[in-house]
Amino acid sequence: MTTSTRDEISDEIARIIKELMPELEGEEITPESTFEDLGMDSLNRVDLLSGAESAFDIEVLDEQVANLVRVRDLTDLVAASRGV
pLDDT (tens place) for every residue of the chain, 84 residues total: 454 699 999 999 999 999 999 999 999 999 999 999 999 999 999 999 999 999 999 999 999 999 999 999 999 999 999 887
Angle between helices 6-20 and 71-82 (to 10 degrees): 130
Q: Is residue 1 part of a domain?
A: no
**Parent domain of 16:** 6-82
**Do the beta carbons of residue 19 and residue 50 sit within 8 Å?**
no
Residue 63's SS3 state is helix
Q: Could you tell me if residue 40 is inside a domain? A: yes
pLDDT digits (tens, 9 = 90+) for 14-23: 999 999 999 9
Residue 54 domain flag: yes
